[in-house]
Structure formats: C-alpha cells, structure tokens
Amino acid sequence: MFSSLRSLWMVFLKMFSKRVTIEYPEQKAYLAPRWRGRIVLTRDPDGNERCVACNLCAAVCPTDCISLQATEDENDRRYPDYFRINFSRCIFCGLCEDACPTYAIQLIPDFEMGEYNRQNLVYEKEDLLISGMGKYHGYSYYEQAGVAVGVKPKGGGENELDPVDVRTLLP
C-alpha cells in the first residue's frame, strides 16, 4: 500500500523533470552503427558484388522474404542473377547478416522506408546494392575461397600453396 502511494508520488514528481521526447522528424535520433534497419548488399574492395548467391540468408530468414537465383559470369564467378527482399514481410531480425559468409548482406541504420503502396516495398538487387563495403572493410571472399573465378589463379589465394604437380614423383 505504502509502495503504491510512494509510486504515485514519484510519478507525480516526474511532472517537473525534463522531457525525453525526441520530436521526429524535426529531430533525428542517434542510431548505432549496428542498428538493424534497411538491408543492403555491399561490394568487395575491388568493387565487385560480394554476394556469391549461397542462399544462406534466404534459408535462415524466418519470414522467407529473401529470394535469389545464382548465376555465373564468364570466369565462373558466382553471383545472384536476381536478389529480392520483400520488405513488407521483413522483420529486421538480422539473421541474414549473421548467416552471410561474405559480409555481403548488411543491415544499416536507416528505417525510413515507408510506402503508400505495398508493392513498392519489394526491393530488387538494383535497389539493394550499394557501391561501398558497408560496415566491414577489406574482406573479399573469393580471395579466401579455393575456387579460381578470375579474382586469383588456382593457388593464388590467401593461405594457399601453388597447385600440385600431379606428374612429379618426388616425395
């Protein structure tokens, strides 16, 4: 009983404290760099698409709102033929970013995506792709992977030996 009265008094006193309201949109709130907002696709340090169309983001997505199709360029470099996120379904959970093995898909501190028409919330690859590396700098998946896709020759990647000479008999 007493604690209820005390609460009433304390709440009453809040009348005289400073307001915490941030008057959006005149004032903007601070959003942390890891804030989970609009999803973007980034590029690697060479300016190529980071996405290798591995489908992990689509698989992990709890609302199944990501779909893509893999294709390859003339160097066998795999990339998404199309990459679509239906933001009218997206819950911005960030699992896709967690699942991404190449840092391609990232959530950025931007949430101002409102539309009058739901159809406009369907983002294609052109809408998602940005020209920079986003939050993670300097990482290029194809430098690490074992496949040769025009980025490096076989054995030219990080932590790789030159290709084996199958015909040598030396131990």
Least distance (Å) between residue 10 CB and another protein: 8
Regarding 41 and contact with another protein (CB under 8 A), the answer is no
Q: Indicate which single residue of 73, 118, 130, 132 sits in contact with another protein (rule: CB under 8 A).
A: 118
What SS3 class is residue 118?
Answer: helix
> Which CB atom, from 17 or from 33, has the smaller least distance to another protein?
17
For residues 138 and 145, what is the distance between their CA atoms, to the nearest angstrom?
Answer: 15
Which of 94, 26, 87 lies closest to 57 in space, CA to CA? Answer: 94
**What Cα–Cα distance (Å) separates residue 112 from each residue in 39, 45, 115?**
12, 28, 9
Interface contacts to another protein, rule CB under 8 A:
4, 7-8, 11-12, 14-15, 17-21, 23, 52-56, 58-59, 61, 63-72, 78, 84-86, 88-89, 101-102, 118-119, 121-122, 124, 141, 144-147, 149, 154-155, 159-169, 171
